[in-house]
Amino acid sequence: MPFEIVRNDITKMYADAIVNSANPMPIIGGSVDLLIHQAAGPELIVARKEIGKINVGDAKLTKAFQLNAKYVIHTVGPAWVDGKHDEFEFLQKCYEESLKLADINQCASIAFPLISTGTYGFPKDKALKIATEVIQSFLNTHEMTVYLVVYDESSFKLSEKLFDKISAYIDKNYIEEHEMKFFSSDINLSMIPDEEEYQPIVSRSENISIQKKREWKDLSDEIGETFSEALLRLIDERGKKDAEIYHLANIDRKLFSKIRSNKDYQPSKMTAIALSVALHLNLDETKDLIGRAGFALTKSNLSDIIFMYFIEHKIYDIYEINKVLFFYNLKELGGI
């Protein structure tokens, strides 16, 4: 998918460019900077010294040497003071300048750490918001795979407001659903009437006779539109362009082309839901569209509960949804 949050060591990532949260001076700092220099080998600091000082918010490019990448993009993030010393603007510039360099050098993929959240103390939830907003804006007009690499659980944080709302919704729906399943085992089966009390409206022989008279065309008409046909109709009805929808859905152009060119294309559930979100479908419309691909939303599935929360609250932001899915160690929306 074009954007993905991954839990990994950034030095183990395979990407055309790996972003280093660097020291402004040509020395090896701590945290991500140290790990990248150790993995790249001694040649990296030599190349870094040739650049000299890098100003806060700027980005410079070197070869990646022994890393699984072509380039290392060195960017200097801001140290957090109180949010009133241009920290947000400088952090935004770090991502923008790094993406610009990757684009100029024809990179198909780039891996970012969560810049400035280590030694520089930038609040993780605020840094995450800036990172995803800049990346989303860039991917609306560019074709590139962007990874946001989080080293461990302590490196990632949702805003307290979003976390509280999601948690309450999950508690109300997901947990109650499981409680209902538990108590359903106590139902007294003697209360259920015997099957013999009911008579079929149509006898078995009559039913078979009716079925024989049905034509294949009738069956086809009942099935209705395929997922692909319904998707393309919805795009046209809403006056949208294909590129707008697949960017909003966090899927790449190649995958969307497959869906468009094959009326019987079978998407994954995550792709189907991502496209529903991109189209701003309500809950009933979402269930109808994904149902045409053979999928359903259920309160017994945590991912589905999260999807329903965002759809019911009309929050049609794939990046915001994926942050929550990542937080709960669930598969993210989108597709390649």
Active site residues: 33
CA gap 189, 197 in Å, rounded: 15
**Cα first-last separation, the chain:** 5
Instruction: Give the Cβ contact number of residue 78 at 10 Å.
Output: 22
CA gap 106, 144 in Å, rounded: 9
Q: Which residues of 263-283 are buried (b: 16+ CB within 10 A; e: fewer)?
A: eebebebbbbbbbbbbbebee
The DSSP line for 246-299 is: HHHTTB-HHHHHHHHH-TT----HHHHHHHHHHTT--HHHHHHHHHTTT----T
Structure tokens at 177: 């659903």
